[in-house]
Structure 1
Amino acid sequence: MAHNPTTEELQSLVLAARKLWELDTNRLKAGVDYAINLQDGKSMWQKGDAAAEKLFKGVKKEVWQRPTFLIFYNLLDNYERETGTVEQDTAQEKKEVSDFLDACLATPVMQYCQLYCEERGVGPKTLAEFKRALYQMWFSYYRRDGAGNDSCGFEHVFVGESKGDSITGFHNWVQFYIEEARGHVDYLGYVRPKAGRDASDDEDRLISVQFAWKGEEKNVSTFFVGTSPEFELALYTMCFLCSEEEKTYLEVGPYDLNIVCYRIRSKYGDKVATAYPDLIGEDPTNDLANMAF
């Protein structure tokens, strides 16, 4: 069943983001479907390991039977980690991208995103055309570092990249969980919020962390926890298409945040350079803050 955006939602990305959160029925339940262990906090400039244990205690095996989660998992090994290394698409990898977009577009979250962008006059009128637009902005390659096409928006945001001796992108909890389970990620502690509460807890849906990925550190990376792949894709896509601002203020669940979004200009359609949440604070009076998920 399609959820048509209301007149009020079309006038406000804040209200539209709240609706996306409400429609994310594929979101996992903290303490039921997964569990995290934040341990000690630190400032983003503080060095050293503030976490003796892993961030993720575990994720239920049944989660990987959900179509968007399973196909998303299959996409994560399709990319070269180092920027400057030209990306090559195989037929199987192209099929995995197509299957992922089809699975996302079958969900209420992405269908709402398509209708919303269409009604705002920034997106096509059919799901098939919207799929092509999503491919252009998220999966078509461009040059980030070097002479060839070595990056795309999906790789940067959801997978992460290595540039020199530092990590860029890497704003997705599923990738973090998988790489940590494989021993490739060393969780170094959570980064204390800049505003709002003094500390985070293991029920948080939006966290900032410091970590090392295959020996290269990232001072801070912020990502949602337990959200579905389609929710994040829809949220970032709506900000990318409906706002020209580099920072778009939203209220998602109990969180006040900005979605930071940069673009690569292209005559064939703009491409995502990066997109990620930047936590401002927590407001328990937000409409959906006390709903059980």
Structure 2
Amino acid sequence: MKLTVETGRRSFWDMAQGSLFSWVNENIFQRRTFSRFCSLLDNYNPDEGCKEVVSSEERQEQASFIEEISRTAPVKYLHKYLSSKGISENYQNFESMMTSLWFDLYGRGGTSGSSSAFEHVFVGEIKQCGEEEVSGFHNWLQFYLEEDKGRVDYHGYIFPRRRGQIPDSDTQLLTIQFEWNGILKSVSSTLVGVSPEFEIALYTLCFYMGGEDNHIQLGPYPVNIKCCRLGDKIGSAFPVADC
């Protein structure tokens, strides 16, 4: 299967030996939330046990991203809803809360300060315990950019058990297998074509108002948004097609 992404239109055909993306309309990277999101992707060491060092420039990139997405409809809705539930009523406090939730470092793989919610969910990490494997990495933009650089080897898609059919031009929820820098991710699910602000808002809402399993309807898709906690932080968040 290959994937073409324009501005909301996708095309598929079965060619698992090739790449997932045949073409993406790169005008999307001129959108401010997209460009600020992409500027964050190279800020992390992928080794799960490696302590992260965050520069002042990287902190500014984090602040700029949160500030930018806070102007968008999905995140404004998120704030309005959380405020109605008594969570972070002040907007300035809300932005600080979002920055802390997504970018504060915590321990993973036995090393303190080695991971964050943003790194795990959107960038991806390499587990070093036992056999190496990819952990996290649930974002389509990161996949496209890494595939374009030759770092991702797409293996193919997994049939949705509920539908039992090949993805078509309207498909936006994919379950795939791939290698990243030669290391396998045996099963990974992702929402394709969505904006960074949509995913951030969705996962944040599930973290504060839901549980580990959050069964929702996204357009035509019954989806379980898995939201795993590490204390008071997001350990992982990703979509799973409900069967």
TM over 0.5: yes
Aligned-partner SS, 1:149: strand
Which digits, 9 at most, give the CA deviation of each residue in 1:211-246, with x for residues without a partner? 000000111100000000000000000000011x21
Runs of 4+ aligned residues of structure 1 deviating over 6 Å after TM superposition are none
Q: Could you tell me the TM-score, scaled by structure 2's length?
A: 0.93
Aligned-partner SS, 1:208: strand
For residue 230 of structure 2, the aligned residue among 251, 264, 278 is 264
Structure 2 letter corresponding to 1:103: E
1:285 corresponds to = none
Tell me, yes or no, if the aligned pair for 2:9 and 2:170 is still in contact at 8 Å.
no
5 Å-filtered alignment, 1:1-293, equals 30-32=5-7, 35=10, 37=12, 39=14, 51-121=16-86, 123-164=87-128, 165-243=132-210, 245-265=211-231, 270-281=232-243
Aligned-partner SS, 1:150: strand
Equivalents in 2 of 1:205, 1:33: separation in Å?
Answer: 10
Q: Which is richer in strand?
A: 2
Aligned-partner SS, 1:64: helix
Tell me, yes or no, if the aligned pair for 1:38 and 1:202 is still in contact at 8 Å.
no
Q: Could you tell me the TM-score, scaled by structure 1's length?
A: 0.77
Structure 2 letter corresponding to 1:118: S
Equivalents in 2 of 1:155, 1:222: separation in Å?
Answer: 16
Report the Cα offset of residue 34 of structure 1.
6.3
Tell me, yes or no, if the aligned pair for 1:85 and 1:146 is still in contact at 8 Å.
no
Structure 1 letter corresponding to 2:213: K
Q: 1:33 to 1:254 in 2, by over 3 A?
A: closer
Which digits, 9 at most, give the CA deviation of each residue in 1:250-292, with x for residues without a partner? 0001100110001121xxxx111000001115xxxxxxxxxxx
Equivalents in 1 of 2:71, 2:123: separation in Å?
Answer: 23
Equivalents in 2 of 1:35, 1:182: separation in Å?
Answer: 21
Q: 1:126 to 1:255 in 2, by over 3 A?
A: same
Equivalents in 2 of 1:109, 1:32: separation in Å?
Answer: 18
Report the Cα offset of residue 62 of structure 1.
1.2
Structure 1 letter corresponding to 2:95: K
Q: 1:58 to 1:30 in 2, by over 3 A?
A: closer
Tell me, yes or no, if the aligned pair for 1:80 and 1:87 is still in contact at 8 Å.
yes
Report the Cα offset of residue 31 of structure 1.
4.7
Aligned-partner SS, 1:143: strand
Tell me, yes or no, if the aligned pair for 1:35 and 1:58 is still in contact at 8 Å.
no
Equivalents in 2 of 1:237, 1:147: separation in Å?
Answer: 25
Tell me, yes or no, if the aligned pair for 1:143 and 1:150 is still in contact at 8 Å.
yes
Aligned-partner SS, 1:77: coil
Equivalents in 1 of 2:13, 2:102: separation in Å?
Answer: 31
If asked which structure has higher relative contact order (CA below 8 Å, sep 6+), I would say: 1
Tell me, yes or no, if the aligned pair for 2:6 and 2:25 is still in contact at 8 Å.
no
Structure 1: gaps spanning 5 or more residues: 1-28, 41-50, 282-293
Structure 2: gaps spanning 5 or more residues: none
